[in-house]
A and B are shown apart, each in its own frame.
Chain A
Amino acid sequence: MAADLWTALFIAILAAFTGYEVISRVPVLLHTPLMSGSNFIHGIVLVGSIVALGFATTPLEKGIGLVAVVMGAMNVTGGYVVTVRILAMFDRSKRRGGGS
């Protein structure tokens, strides 16, 4: 296995523990926005899509690469807007009748 892959594996292990730690104490209230927010973060797939299409050579590769870019971009914008809309409901200025 190439050295790069080992490096990536070490990084992935650290990232996995980070993800676990970050989520471990989260109130039920935030499960939905958090799912939506992490859905947005894997929108980083768009970067990979752009790279894949950017280095595609044959028409078939370009076609599939374009599909990847379209889907990745939808993941990013849709994921962001949905999360913001869900979280907008937690805006304290909109709360009436109390709150901390």
Chain B
Amino acid sequence: MIAVVSDAVNAVYVIAVIVFILGLKAMSSPETARRGIVYAGVAMLVAVVVTFFISGLSNFALIAIGVIVGGGAGFYWARVVKMTAMPQMVAVFNGMGGGAAGAIAAVELLASLTSGATTGLSVAGAVIGSTSIAGSVIAFLKLQGWMPSRPIVLPARQPVNLAVLVVGVGFGVYAVASTTAIFLLPFFVLLLLYGILLTLPIGGADMPVVISLFNALTGIAVALDGFALVSGPLGDAGYAMVIAGTLVGAAGSLLTVLMARAMNRSIGNVLFGAFGATEETGVAVAGQMKPIDAEDVAVMMSYANEVIIVPGYGMAVAQAQQKVKELADLLEAKGVPVKFAIHPVAGRMPGHMNVLLAEAGISYDKLFDRDEINNEFPNADVVLVIGANDVVNPAARRVGSPLQGMPILDVDRAKNVIVIKRGQGKGFAGIENELFYKDNCRMLYGDAQQAVGKLVQALKRS
């Protein structure tokens, strides 16, 4: 069995890699983003197809079954899932990539153990890939609501996590050094456990950053697998993995930093801070929450100089974006200008709100970033907060608050604030929102879809 990667196959890999880079570049601009993913898709298809022509390849039936089953499942699942569940789908498919990288490393390790050759690169690829899949699965479970999204903090977690990692890697190194395959089992088990333990204490509000981080990690794991391949007899298929993996590792790392910066947090703080797990003590929130009827809100908005709508995750969960669009249209028909204030991390992912509002057909020129609109709140008669919580919590301005320093939308400075909220619970960060207790704030209780629907009805009547 001689493995040969022919010139023709290599040429295709080279072209595919170039197109990946161009595709990624295209995806970083709104005008060309859609073209970018299609280019990358074609390149991927071609790269996968030519891989079958590497001579010496066997087990074709198994490969075909795997591609059809996995590809079909991924395709179907991604097609049927609701748009609101997209963040967790990114987590799942990223986890699959990490798992594949870990499994490749496992095969390489088993093969190298029997052949006597050893490679630390596969160990590293296995470490990162396993952490990525286990962490991504936890991220998925938390976002999907199949697991509490609050930080789950185990006692002595820092030393325990470190011990799990060190012992796990120790088993891997020992398995390689002693060429004993059985030690690979505790190696993988402990690394999967490490991925779980690492992600458990991270609260739902931080999940976008974490998913982005795992995305970068999977890229690095893929690159490491590529390194292990290039040093083997198969050679050049590995270079494509090195380039694509490193590309994603670098781009993903930068993206992670950008996202964390948008929340004024460091990566270390996100990973190890167990954000929102500790209650601030000694701060009692003065005042009480004051409810209001949809009819009163409708009248207030009808006679407002302008209405600024602040959407949040609650809008996404309730699929209320169409109703929101209807509301905005009705108000504009009455001559009330409507603007949307989008916090960079509103929802579960940056850009989440923009995507949903665009889906509902709301024009981009009505959407404003935090920096663009923050000065306008004091002049606005009515601000309507739909299912947003932590991103409008004025506690962030106070020294000592767990939210301290997080950039927020200054909605509390508006003349009237209406908050649509399902109940009196806390936000994702698990912190009491002082906005709700302010004198200029009224609560319109209900699911975002129903509540906005009631507002629409009331506006039509008035």
Is chain B found bound to chain A in the same assembly? yes
Contact surface of A with B, Cβ cutoff 8 Å: 2, 4-5, 7-9, 11-12, 15-20, 22-58, 60-62, 64-91, 94-99
Q: Is B36 an interface residue when CB atoms closer than 8 A count as contact?
A: yes
**Could you say which of A40, A48, A64, A81 has the most chain B C-beta atoms within 10 Å of its C-beta?**
A48
Interface residues in B, total, Cβ within 8 A: 119
Closest to A70 in B: B70
Q: Are B110 and A41 in contact (CB under 8 A)?
A: no
Given A23-B28, A34-B28, A96-B361, CB of A45 within 8 Å of CB of B100: yes
> Within B234-272, which residues are at the interface with A (CB < 8 Å)?
234-235, 237-252, 254-255, 258-259, 262
Q: Is B314 an interface residue when CB atoms closer than 8 A count as contact?
A: no
Q: Is B30 an interface residue when CB atoms closer than 8 A count as contact?
A: yes
The smallest C-beta distance from B221 to any residue of chain A, in angstroms, reads: 8
Q: Are B74 and A74 in contact (CB under 8 A)?
A: yes
Closest to B60 in A: A54
Point out the residue from B37, B94, B354 that lies within 8 Å of A87, measured CB to CB. Answer: B37
The smallest C-beta distance from A77 to any residue of chain B, in angstroms, reads: 4
Q: Are A15 and B62 in contact (CB under 8 A)?
A: no
Beta-carbon contacts of B25-44 to A below 8 Å, as 1s and 0s?
10111100110111011001
Q: Are B30 and A30 in contact (CB under 8 A)?
A: yes
Q: Are B239 and A8 in contact (CB under 8 A)?
A: yes
Which residues of A have CB within 8 Å of B243? 11-12, 15
Point out the residue from B51, B94, B250, B251 that lies within 8 Å of A47, measured CB to CB. Answer: B51
A71 to B58, CA, bound (A): 19
The smallest C-beta distance from B340 to any residue of chain A, in angstroms, reads: 13
Q: Are B352 and A78 in contact (CB under 8 A)?
A: no
Query: With contacts A15-B250, A74-B77 known, what are 7 further pairs, Cβ within 8 A?
Result: A19-B24, A43-B97, A71-B100, A73-B68, A74-B73, A75-B97, A78-B93
Given A26-B28, A70-B66, A75-B100, CB of A51 within 8 Å of CB of B90: no
Which residues of B have CB within 8 Å of A19? 24, 246-252, 254
Q: Is B56 an interface residue when CB atoms closer than 8 A count as contact?
A: yes
A18 to B36, CA, bound (A): 16
Q: Are B104 and A38 in contact (CB under 8 A)?
A: no
B343-351, B406-414, B421-429 - the one binding chain A? B343-351
The smallest C-beta distance from B457 to any residue of chain A, in angstroms, reads: 23
A97 to B363, CA, bound (A): 6
Closest to A4 in B: B230
Q: Are B225 and A27 in contact (CB under 8 A)?
A: no
Contact surface of B with A, Cβ cutoff 8 Å: 1, 3, 20-21, 23-25, 27-30, 33-34, 36-38, 40-41, 44, 47-48, 51-52, 54, 56-60, 62-63, 65-75, 77-79, 83, 86-87, 89-90, 92-94, 96-97, 99-101, 103-104, 106-108, 110-111, 114, 133, 211-212, 215, 218-219, 222-223, 225-227, 229-231, 234-235, 237-252, 254-255, 258-259, 262, 344, 349-352, 354-356, 358-359, 361-365, 369
Which residues of A have CB within 8 Å of B92? 78
Q: Are B47 and A33 in contact (CB under 8 A)?
A: no
Lowest 7 A-B CB distances belong to which pairs? A69-B66, A19-B250, A73-B70, A78-B74, A81-B78, A68-B103, A70-B70
> What are 30 A-B pairs with beta-carbon distances under 8 A?
A4-B231, A12-B227, A15-B247, A19-B247, A19-B251, A26-B258, A32-B90, A32-B351, A40-B37, A41-B20, A41-B248, A44-B222, A44-B241, A56-B107, A61-B111, A69-B62, A69-B66, A69-B100, A71-B97, A72-B97, A77-B72, A80-B37, A82-B89, A84-B34, A84-B41, A87-B34, A87-B37, A89-B355, A89-B356, A95-B361
User: How many A-B pairs fall under 8 Å by CB?
Assistant: 396
A41 to B358, CA, bound (A): 25
Which residues of A have CB within 8 Å of B356? 89
Q: Are B77 and A53 in contact (CB under 8 A)?
A: no
A39 to B97, CA, bound (A): 8
Q: Are B90 and A72 in contact (CB under 8 A)?
A: no
The smallest C-beta distance from B48 to any residue of chain A, in angstroms, reads: 6
Q: Are A55 and B93 in contact (CB under 8 A)?
A: no
The smallest C-beta distance from B83 to any residue of chain A, in angstroms, reads: 7
Given A66-B62, A83-B37, CB of A49 within 8 Å of CB of B103: yes
The smallest C-beta distance from B312 to any residue of chain A, in angstroms, reads: 15
A60 to B249, CA, bound (A): 30
A29 to B243, CA, bound (A): 26
A7 to B234, CA, bound (A): 15
Q: Are B255 and A73 in contact (CB under 8 A)?
A: no
Q: Are A72 and B234 in contact (CB under 8 A)?
A: no
Which residues of B have CB within 8 Å of A68? 66, 99-100, 103-104, 107
**Could you say which of B28, B73, B75 has the most chain A C-beta atoms within 10 Å of its C-beta?**
B28
Q: Are A79 and B30 in contact (CB under 8 A)?
A: no
Point out the residue from B28, B111, B358 that lies within 8 Å of A22, measured CB to CB. Answer: B28
A45 to B29, CA, bound (A): 26
Point out the residue from B29, B96, B114 that lies within 8 Å of A71, measured CB to CB. Answer: B96
